Amino acid sequence: MAARGASLTIAAMNTLTSSCAAPSGEGATPPLPCIAVLATGGTIAGAAADATNTSGYQAGVVGVEQLLSVVPALSTVARIAPEQIASVDSKDMTMPLWTTLVQRINTLLATDGIDGVVVTHGTDTLEETAYLLHLTVKSDKPVVLTAAMRPASALSADGPLNLLNAVTVAAHAGSRGQGVLVAFNNKLHSARDVVKTSTYAVDAFQSPEIGALGWVQDGRVEFQRAVVRPHTLATEFVIGPKWPHVEIVASYAGVSRIAVDALVAAGVRGIVVAGTGNGSIHVSMQQALADAASQGVAVVRSSRVGSGHVMRNGAAADDALGFVSAGSLNPYKARVLLMLALAAGGTGPVALQKTFDTY
Ligand code: ASP
């Protein structure tokens, strides 16, 4: 499942004119919302040689127009402005592509005629991209990500209904101001909370700590709780051309300090630890991380467990070692926030802890 194709350059995208056809004729009813559908690849755009193959397919080979063409019901929900941003397997997501995506979404949402954005994406890194957008999109218009666990060519492909539901959510007035959303398998998740929890199940996305935000079914959208932490317009984060180098290490039985020392020697600005339990770290690795922190590398403790909070480790212990707690962010989302915080000039464990406690 190799990545296919490259993302468009910013220059090329600036020549795109995303817009929806206006209704024609006198007395035309008010137009449906105009939703830009930005395709990036993934299994939702995947194809295999036969319809029963749901594992040996190529991701990101079906174009956005074709994805839309198999969902005629879209025309009853919204007017669609499609764009092919990239054609990648999301396991191969890159930071330059993230920059392109954020900039394009911000440009589109600043346009009067665009009412919302849907991003089609691979499932593998969807939770990272979603959280990045949640922190860097500068608009309260809806942004909804969706994906699929079965390729477009499969029997009972889940992509078409997920796409219809995502556009339905993006076109729904109540989705405004909720931050970036993920519509998947009839559930509606906040970008901050959602994670992929199954390698193969169609119900592959959950918000393990506090549950889904709501649901979408048969054209009906319902929110059951609100997003409390700041996002989109309320953050200080902007995408710049440079991404601070932040990597992830894991703690486990018998782990050595080799990986941490190598990363410090390579010049990383930050390290996120996928710790055991409450973000606890093997004594050998902990010493290496304390040494890293004393040299100015940001060290963030998260957990490999999959749900729950990482509490500050007896404040004194974290203070003494110079570590920051990721709270309820998993290691991959903690890395996104740490990169943005460092890019925004955040330094030192006290300021960084405040950032993690806020977002
Ligand atoms: N590897 C694929 C991707 O992330 C899997 C998927 O889309 O579900 O693009």
Domain-embedded: residue 10? no
Domain-embedded: residue 329? yes
Provide the 8-state DSSP code for 188.
Answer: E
Residues 219 and 291 in one domain: no
Residues 224 and 292 in one domain: no
Calpha distance 155→139 (Å, rounded): 38
Residues 228 and 205 in one domain: yes
pLDDT digits (tens, 9 = 90+) for 94-143: 999 999 999 999 999 999 999 999 999 999 999 999 999 999 999 999 99
CB 342 within 8 A of CB 269: yes
Strand runs (DSSP E) across 185-321, as ranges?
187-190, 195-196, 205-206, 214-217, 220-223, 246-250, 270-275, 298-303
Residues 222 and 329 in one domain: no
Residues 94 and 174 in one domain: yes
**Residue-range definition of the domain harbouring residue 259:** 246-358
Domain-embedded: residue 273? yes
Calpha distance 39→213 (Å, rounded): 24
Domain-embedded: residue 13? no
Calpha distance 191→179 (Å, rounded): 8
Which is the closest atom of ligand 1 to the Cα of 148?
8
Count structural domains, the chain: 2
Residues 86 and 216 in one domain: yes
Joined tokens for residue 112? 């009067």
Q: Which residues of 31-42 are buried (b: 16+ CB within 10 A; e: fewer)?
A: ebbbbbbbbbbb
Q: Whose CA is nearest to atom 8 of ligand 1?
A: 123
Residues 127 and 169 in one domain: yes
Residues 90 and 158 in one domain: yes
Select from 91, 119, 196 the residue to mutate for testing ligand 1; criterion: most ligand atoms less than 8 Å from CB. Answer: 91
Q: From 185, 201, 234, give the residue that closes a domain.
A: 234
Residues 141 and 260 in one domain: no
Q: From 203, 234, 265, give the residue that closes a domain.
A: 234
> Which one, of 74, 86, 85, 84, lies nearest residue 34 by Cα?
74
Dihedral sign from CA coordinates of 294, 297, 303, 309: positive
CB 180 within 8 A of CB 169: no
CB 233 within 8 A of CB 140: yes
Q: pLDDT averaged over consecutive 10-residue blocks of the chain (359 residues)? A: 44 56 66 97 97 95 98 98 98 98 98 97 98 98 98 97 98 98 98 97 95 98 97 95 96 98 98 97 97 98 96 86 97 98 96 98
Domain-embedded: residue 240? no
> Which one, of 295, 208, 282, lies nearest residue 249 by Cα?
282
Residues 208 and 271 in one domain: no
pLDDT at position 28, please? Answer: 63
Domain-embedded: residue 180? yes
Domain-embedded: residue 272? yes
Select from 124, 128, 145 the residue to mutate for testing ligand 1; criterion: most ligand atoms less than 8 Å from CB. Answer: 124
Q: Could you tell me whether strands 34-41 and 79-88 are parallel, antiparallel, or unpaired per DSSP bridges? A: parallel
Task: Residue 178: give its domain's CATH number.
Answer: 3.40.50.1170
Q: Which long-range contacts (CB under 8 A, 24 or more apart) does 224-231 make?
A: 226/178, 227/178, 227/179, 227/190, 227/192, 229/192, 229/358, 229/359, 230/358, 230/359, 231/134, 231/135, 231/179, 231/180, 231/191, 231/192, 231/359
CB 313 within 8 A of CB 285: no
- Rounded to the nearest whole angstrom, what is the distance from the C-alpha of residue 91 to the centroid of ligand 1? 7
Any residues with CB less than 8 A from the CB of 193 and at least 6 apart, and which?
Answer: 207, 208, 209, 210, 213, 328
Q: What is the DSSP string of 44-99?
A: GG-B-SSTT-SSS-BTT-S-HHHHHHT-GGGGGT-EEEEEEEEEE-GGG--HHHHH
CB 327 within 8 A of CB 299: no
Task: Residue 285: give its domain's CATH number.
Answer: 3.40.50.40
pLDDT digits (tens, 9 = 90+) for 11-40: 444 445 567 877 655 566 779 999 999 999
pLDDT at position 27, please? Answer: 60
The residue annotated as part of the active site, out of 40, 123, 235, 355, is 123
Residues 157 and 269 in one domain: no
Dihedral sign from CA coordinates of 176, 179, 183, 189: negative
Residues 79 and 208 in one domain: yes
Q: From 202, 234, 266, give the residue that closes a domain.
A: 234
Amino acid at 83: E
Calpha distance 344→249 (Å, rounded): 23
Domain-embedded: residue 347? yes
Check if 235 is active-site.
Answer: no
